[in-house]
Structures are given as structure tokens and as C-alpha cells.
Structure 1
Amino acid sequence: MGIKKVKNIVWGLCLAAIASFTFTGCSKKNDPAPEEKKVAVKFTVTATSAGVIDETDITIQAAAANGDASQYGAPVWKINGVTQNNEDNIFLKGNQFNGSTKTYVLETVKPFGMATIGVECTNRGTTPITLTFNTQVDGKVQTNVENLKVMPGEGYDKQFTYTAN
């Protein structure tokens, strides 16, 4: 056998080996996607003022979502223990704090991939508004703000995002 013929046979064997690894090394089935980590979120907020809190003075927004579509068409939040309809966003307005209820507890019905809490207070009144809020993620306190005074003509705006670690 000549050297040229041996080289051709070696190259042919190498190409055949590469082709067999290429076509048989990976199966057509995809590996299962890793399971999304999820968290349960509980947010407690209290707002008080010596005066009347206007509807536009305070906006509390809570939202939760998953990486899949499992939250759609199902309850997401409870407010003070009452399951809300299929709403993934919850809003509280300032005038809701004027009655006998000064504290609201927003909590997810089941664990979610992430949750966001927005706290906005623009005091248009003549007396200070005092905010106290706390967020627990899987039972552990993540955010704790006590007796934050928003003076007349001032504002406070903060967004918090919570995900599984």
C-alpha cells in the first residue's frame, strides 16, 4: 500500500468517526428545563395621618409573575386574608387608609418566580403621612421601614423586587 492510500484511509476513518459522533452524540430530545425557583411574598403596609389621606396621596402596587404562564387565570394575591380574583397586579390608594382599616396585608396565594412592590406617597395634604411597611419572602424579613414620615409637599417613591435566590 502506498502512503497516499494509507493517508486517504486514515482521513476517511477520521471523517467517519467525526460524523458518527456528530449524528449520534446528541439525542433529539432536549434536556428538561431547570425548574424555576419560586418564593412566597407577604407585604404589610400601614398608613396614618392626623388629616384625611387623599386617594392620590398614596399608591401601593404589588405584582407577581412566573417564568411560565401558570399565574394567568388563577388567583395571585390575598388582601387581608381574602383571595382576590384573577389579578396579578394589586393597587391600594390613599383613601383606603382613611377608614377603620389602616393596615393591609398583601400576600401571594402560592409561590411565584418574582414579585415587585411599589410604594409611592406624594403628600398633597397639610399634615404628615406616616408609612410603615415590611416585606417577608419565604417567611424572612427582606424590607422593613418603620414610621417613615412624608411631610406635606414631599414625596417618597420606592420599587422593590424579590426573586428566589
Structure 2
Amino acid sequence: MKKIFKNFIGLCTLAVVTSALFVNCSSSDDGNGPVIPGIEGKNMKFTITIDNVTMDDYISFVAVSSSFNTNTIWKVNGTERANETGISLDKQSFSGSTKTYVIESISPLPAASLSMQFIPFNNKSITYSYKAEINGTVVKDEQNITVTNPNSHTAQYSY
């Protein structure tokens, strides 16, 4: 009788474990990643314009995030950036013909961190504009801010 009971308990345990594996590891993924209570994804859009940049200046603009289901999370000026969880722009980015960059999340993200630092050299100034939109609402808007040598501008934002 003990042997039958042990076999019955063993089979029940095996059935429960197997069922749990099939339910939790099924292929019916909806592509939205795990649902974590209290963390809601946000659509993000950052626009940065910097004028009067030369190769003597120091320019750093970095946006970083992560996603639950992909490493391709950003578009820059409408073009997807495959397998890049961070976007980095420097003086070469702004010294050519392109002065404005629009960085957008492809899908809602749990959070993002953004940092920028601008240091003009050689007794001149640079002018920048920065706008952050979260879920379509403007949360930061700095327009035509001039930074003149020997001053610099440094900022960090979390969204």
C-alpha cells in the first residue's frame, strides 16, 4: 500500500511540474514582454539641435534604455538603429549638414536615461535646443540656449 501511495504522489508531482512548465513556457508570447506591476511602458521622443559646432568643441549627447523583448528600441531621424540600446551623438554628428536629431522609442520603454554635455572652445559659443516628449506630452523644452566659452552645459535626465 505504501508503494502505491508513493507512486501516486510521484506521478501527481510529475504532472504538476510538467503542467507548470507547459503553461509558463508556452509559445503564445504576445511580444509585449513580461507585465510587471507598477512599471508602465512610455513612448519617448527626444529632439536635439546644436548649431555652430566645430571640431574643437566637446559635444556629448547620450540616450540609453532597455526593453523587455528586443535590443532594437530606437529610431534616429526615422531610421531604426538595430541592436542599439543606447544612442550616442558627438561633435562629428553636429559639425556636418545635420544639426537636428530626433530620437524616438520604437515601442513603449520602462525608463530611459539621458545625458548631455556641451563645451565650446576658442572663445566662441554654441546654441542648442532640446525637447523631451513622454507619451506625447512635452516634459522638457529648452529652446535656443547659448553656451559661450569658458562656460559649459551639463545635464542628466531620467524618464
The equivalent residue for 1:19 is: none
In 2: Cα distance, 1:46 partner to 1:33 partner? 35
Alignment check: 8 A CA contact 1:54 1:125 kept: no
The letter of the residue matching 1:70 is N
The one-letter amino acid of 2:129's match is T
Q: What is the match of residue 84 of structure 1? A: 81
- Counterpart of 1:57? 58
3-state SS of paired residue (2:104) = strand
SS in 2 for 1:100: coil
Distance in 2 between the 1:83 and 1:132 partners? 23
Q: Name the TM-score, length of structure 1 as normaliser.
A: 0.70
Residues 16-35 of structure 1, C-alpha deviations (whole Å, 9 max, x = no match): xxxxxxxxxxxxx9xx8526
- After superposition, the C-alpha distances for 1:29-64 in whole angstroms (9 at most, x for unaligned) are 9xx852630101100000001xx4227511000011
Counterpart of 1:37, as a letter, is E
Give the match for residue 46 of structure 2.
43
Whether the 8 Å contact between 1:55 and 1:95 is mirrored in structure 2 is no
Q: Structure 2 stretches of 5 or more lacking a match?
A: 1-19, 21-34
In the superposition, relative to structure 1, how do residues 157 and 110 fare at CA in structure 2: closer, same or farther (>3 Å)? same
Pairing of 1:97-116 with structure 2 (within 5 A): 97-116=94-113
The residue matched to 2:92 in structure 1 has which SS? helix
Spell out the pairing of 1:15-164 with structure 2 (5 A cutoff).
34=37, 36-49=39-52, 52-54=53-55, 57-66=58-67, 69-71=68-70, 74-162=71-159
Deviations 1:74-132 (A, max 9, x none): 31111100000211111000121121111000111111000111111111233210010
Q: After the TM superposition, list the runs of 4 or more consecutive aligned residues in structure 1 that deviate by more than 6 angstroms.
A: none
Q: Which residue of 1 aligns with 2:7?
A: none
Q: Percent same amino acid at aligned positions?
A: 28
Contact 1:40 1:110 in 2 (8 A): yes
CA RMSD in angstroms, aligned pairs only: 2.0
Pair member with larger Rg: 1
Task: Measure, in 2, the Cα distance between the counterparts of 1:35 and 1:84.
Answer: 28
**Paired letter, 1:46:** T
